[in-house]
Structure 1
């Protein structure tokens, strides 16, 4: 039998209520034990780390981020992460479920840019309102009145996240989407990429023509709408191949392909390698396919 990527749910320790927890890397290590941070994880919650000391490399969806003092790392629910030398870094950590932040804030965050970063270097955050808002959120998390604290913390953290997405250096290439319809298209791709592979299906779902979706995609990313759909499918395929142990046939079915050979051709056309060869390269001892 195969094995999928290990999911990690939000499970606060005894005495912690609500859907937002302020902890530290040291307490996370003590709570999880050394084996908790060895294998790749797909988080069911968001993780916001502020590095106070030490250095390590943290990988999120195949990108390794070199973390140092003052850096921020935001791993979002659904992404696949791999801890590096977690024992070498220290700092506060916010754990929060997506539902802990109000829908209006998430909509503003998604509208803030076409591509949301995971990593902010110290120089990008230092002296910004985002830094002050995160400090306020840490203070709020220690308030004694639980009911007021949870409500205030949700609002303070939401404000900090909004300010964080604004703290992007000039010349980064990030810019807000030109049309709200493009944000809707990206959200629909995220929800439906396993079952909808054709742009026409998204056009019907959203009430736009395929031509309009292609125009919006090219305006915002330089890619066609079909390329964006394929990009999301391939990302998930790479996650499952690299970090899971399910056979290729099962991965193909999970991603909406009715035949494993069709999936293999699709993957090879877009990556230049077969699913099996990709798995062998990133995991030489992956075992069963």
Structure 2
């Protein structure tokens, strides 16, 4: 890993150590601690790669986008590129770690993963994961990474077994969790377009025109899949990014408003308050008392 300082959230890019080929690295929490040093894991991070951790011993709480996940032996946590994570007490846990860029997994696999559920989980408990095909696939990926065969064969085997493990993980979700496949491919397209364009498109009509569907159809698909309207999903995504920038960045509210497509900071403040019952400044002061006045 290597860090890049930005005006907003601290970004961490994937820089494999010498000897690692391809775009997938199998390491351990112990080696990550040794490589990063004591200060690497203190601040919130936005990764440009994916991180899959299997806890073998110890416990802590790992936070992904304001949700804290208690980690125990046997648990798995998958932090995806673009999400903001906050390490717990990393010294208290051990286990293998896969670091991989999005391009390390083939496009077809990513499309299947996106189509497998309305929202891909970040956390699987030991009870959910143990004894499943996903656990077996993860063991195969661990074995592939440690083989002494040629680097090309090893990397190919690792990419395929890890892709299988990820696919099977999104299927290993308990009944009643709310995780279900989308009812229509158009909803997957809407969700992908929302992720790509939420900073500049805030209206359902803009997405409908982009995708070639009516606003009524997008709202129907959104409600069928999530119980929320398309506008509520757009607002939810914009507010999540606003919270990330307010909580973890140092940019003033006016600059954050511009980054999220608002011409007037007062319009952004009003928008944020209507959806969170608090102003951006109050939210920032609550989660970051050191940032009052920014």
Partners of 2:292 and 2:155 in 1: how far apart?
46
Alpha-carbon displacement from aligned partner over 1:88-143 (angstroms, at most 9, x marks no partner): 00000000000000011001001111111100000001100100100000010012
1:93 lines up with 2:97 in the alignment: yes
* Equivalent residue, structure 1, for 2:63: 59
Partners of 2:258 and 2:142 in 1: how far apart?
44
1:264 lines up with 2:269 in the alignment: yes
- Runs of 4+ aligned residues of structure 1 deviating over 4 Å after TM superposition are none
Partners of 1:277 and 1:203 in 2: how far apart?
34
* Equivalent residue, structure 2, for 1:209: 214
Q: By how many angstroms is 1:17 displaced?
A: 1.1
Whether contact under 8 Å (2:284, 2:292) holds in the other structure is no
1:173 lines up with 2:178 in the alignment: yes
Count of residues paired in the alignment: 288
Partners of 2:271 and 2:189 in 1: how far apart?
26
Q: SS at the partner of 2:282?
A: helix
Partners of 2:261 and 2:177 in 1: how far apart?
35
* Equivalent residue, structure 1, for 2:113: 109
Please point out which of 129, 132, 143 is paired with 1:139. Answer: 143
Whether contact under 8 Å (1:46, 1:76) holds in the other structure is yes
**TM-score under structure 2 length normalisation:** 0.97
* Equivalent residue, structure 2, for 1:27: 31
Q: By how many angstroms is 1:286 displaced?
A: 1.1
1:223 lines up with 2:217 in the alignment: no
Q: SS at the partner of 1:81?
A: strand
Whether contact under 8 Å (1:245, 1:288) holds in the other structure is no
Q: Which runs of 5 or more structure 1 residues have no equivalent in the other structure?
A: none
Alpha-carbon displacement from aligned partner over 1:252-282 (angstroms, at most 9, x marks no partner): 0000000100000000000000000000000
* Equivalent residue, structure 2, for 1:77: 81
Whether contact under 8 Å (2:272, 2:280) holds in the other structure is yes
Please point out which of 236, 240, 247 is paired with 2:241. Answer: 236
Partners of 1:247 and 1:200 in 2: how far apart?
30
Partners of 1:244 and 1:59 in 2: how far apart?
16
**TM-score under structure 1 length normalisation:** 0.98
Partners of 2:68 and 2:142 in 1: how far apart?
27
* Equivalent residue, structure 1, for 2:3: none
Partners of 1:135 and 1:26 in 2: how far apart?
19
* Equivalent residue, structure 1, for 2:20: 16
Whether contact under 8 Å (2:109, 2:167) holds in the other structure is yes
Q: Which runs of 5 or more structure 2 residues have no equivalent in the other structure?
A: 1-5
RMSD of aligned C-alpha atoms? 0.8
